[in-house]
Amino acid sequence: MTRRKLIAGNWKMNGLRAAVAELDRVIEAAPDAACDLLLCPPATLIGLFSTRAAGSALMIGGQDCHPKAAGAHTGDISAEMLRDAGARAVIVGHSERRADHAETDALVRDKAEAAWRAGMTAVICVGETEAQRDAGAMLDVVAASLIGSVPETATADTTVIAYEPVWAIGAGRTPTLAQIEEMHGHIRETLRAHLGVVQGTGVRVLYGGSVKPENAGEIMQVRGVDGALIGGASLKAADFLAIAAAS
């Protein structure tokens, strides 16, 4: 089965309205991309970016959502609110959320279901720490996190997985291509067991962590890699588009 590649940008806590110039460059080039394109700016820019990207090949997404639809949760944003602002997808369980806000697999799972409830795709992140890899526990850690974070009802249409080794994020270093292939194969097997063969085969599995224009070509060729989740390099349209072109 062929899975269309997805190149997703995560701007994290970066970007003011002036960054619309970068967005416009991506929108302009989007029709030429041979892959799906998703950009997740901070929540403050989702409305503006979605309006701008309407009708283009670029999807706009959020970086997190609350599991509930509405209520007394000061400072939080629900999946319904993101969708209402124009988001089509939302990242859940990014390692920075897991670390900074003590998010558990169970909470991430609830957030994925909230994304679906609102009519969005959930981009569910998993990945091991450096200590876990050094201890040789990375395959077990990632499988357990997948089983805890991905609802059994996930489908290829509603869900994307991002494998992001915590030690590679913003670090300028990546696993070897063999390590990426090993982990993506393991994630695929885990998804097939967890979701059934059809959905487990169809869900896209992205690699994330220090993807740059220079290494994107070789990483995207690795068996089982269905695209990338890009932090730092997604802030510049030229780099984001170069990575998309390399996919």
Distance of CA 219 to the CA centre of its chain: 16
Pick from 18, 45, 1, 32: which is nearest to 9 by CA? 45
Going by the DSSP 8-state scheme, the letter that residue 10 receives in this structure is: E
C-alpha distances out from residue 188 to 204, 205, 230, Å? 9, 8, 21
Contact pick of 6, 7, 10, 90 for ligand PGA (by CB under 6 A): 10
Cβ-contact 93, 103 below 8 angstroms: yes
Active site residue 164: yes
**How many residues belong to the site for ligand PGA (CB under 6 A)?**
13
Question: Would you count residue 38 as binding ligand PGA (CB under 6 A)?
Answer: no
Question: Would you count residue 232 as binding ligand PGA (CB under 6 A)?
Answer: yes
Active-site residue, from 66, 94, 184, 186: 94
Measured distance CA(190)–CA(54) in Å, rounded: 36
Question: Would you count residue 231 as binding ligand PGA (CB under 6 A)?
Answer: yes
Cβ-contact 213, 239 below 8 angstroms: yes
Question: Would you count residue 169 as binding ligand PGA (CB under 6 A)?
Answer: yes
Question: Would you count residue 93 as binding ligand PGA (CB under 6 A)?
Answer: no
Question: Would you count residue 158 as binding ligand PGA (CB under 6 A)?
Answer: no
Going by the DSSP 8-state scheme, the letter that residue 166 receives in this structure is: G
Q: Which of residues 206-225 bind ligand PGA (CB under 6 A)?
A: 208-211
Q: Which stretch binds ligand PGA (CB under 6 A): 126-134, 148-156, 163-171, 194-202?
A: 163-171
Kindly list the residues in this chain that would bind ligand PGA in the complex (CB under 6 A). 10, 164, 169-170, 208-211, 229-233
Catalytic residue positions? 94, 164
